[in-house]
Amino acid sequence: MVQRTLSIIKPDATCRNVTGEINHMIEAAGFRIIAQKRILITLEQAKKFYEVHQEKPFYNDLCEFLSSAPAIVQVLEKENAVLDYRTLMGSTNPASADEGTIRKKFAISIDKNSVHGSDSPENATIEIKFFFSETEIVG
Ligand code: CMP
């Protein structure tokens, strides 16, 4: 089934000027980037976006990091996009990410791990709506 997922290219990657290389990996893996914008996520937006993690010890640092510099938010479309993008990203902690994954190649640490992807189709719908209106998505 063709699915959509939300991807964020995080501030550590925009700061190192590797967004094109990451997009190349995304497209080479068969995803279509059907919406994309470079934005400065506010601290308030970051807190709302990551609210499922609000009890975690890393929550404040995570939100501050996401709002610290520009991010690229994008909608990716492909068969099985949610799971396949998580596979392409690699594990959250780059120290255990597989060869050939985005995080293996670009992530610096578990915090500065270069990309985010939705973890379920339900959350993909919620996360896409968080950043995009219907008219901004051109499939
Ligand atoms: P992401 O996929 O964007 O979802 C939540 C983020 O929290 C995760 O990537 C990591 O960058 C960050 N994070 C920081 N510390 C941890 C941790 N101990 N476990 C999981 N995620 C963490």
Interval between CA 36 and ligand 1 midpoint (Å)? 22
How confident is the model at residue 39, as a pLDDT? 98
Run of H or E including 45 = helix 43-49
Expressed in angstroms and rounded, the spacing between residue 25 Cα and the centre of ligand 1 is 21
The rounded Cα 47 to chain-centroid distance in angstroms is 15
Atom of ligand 1 lying closest to residue 119 CA: 2
Whether 110 lines ligand 1, by a CB cut-off of 6 Å, is yes
Q: Which of ligand 1's atoms lies nearest the C-alpha of 53? A: 5
Three-state DSSP state, 117: strand
Q: pLDDT (tens digit, 9 = 90+) per residue, 58-110?
A: 999 999 999 999 999 999 999 999 999 999 999 999 999 999 999 999 999 99
Cα–Cα distance between 120 and 78 in angstroms, integer?
14
Query: Each residue of 41-63: pLDDT tens digit?
Result: 999 999 999 999 999 999 999 99
User: Ligand 1 atom closest to Cα of 66?
Assistant: 3
DSSP calls for 69-112: S-EEEEEEEEETHHHHHHHHH--SSGGGPPTTSHHHHH--SSSS
Average pLDDT of the chain is 98
The candidate with the shortest Cα–Cα distance to 9, out of 51, 54, 69, is: 69
Write out the catalytic residue numbers. 116
Q: pTM for the complete prediction?
A: 0.98
The secondary structure element, H or E, covering residue 5 is strand 2-9
Residues 120-129, mean pLDDT to the nearest whole number: 98
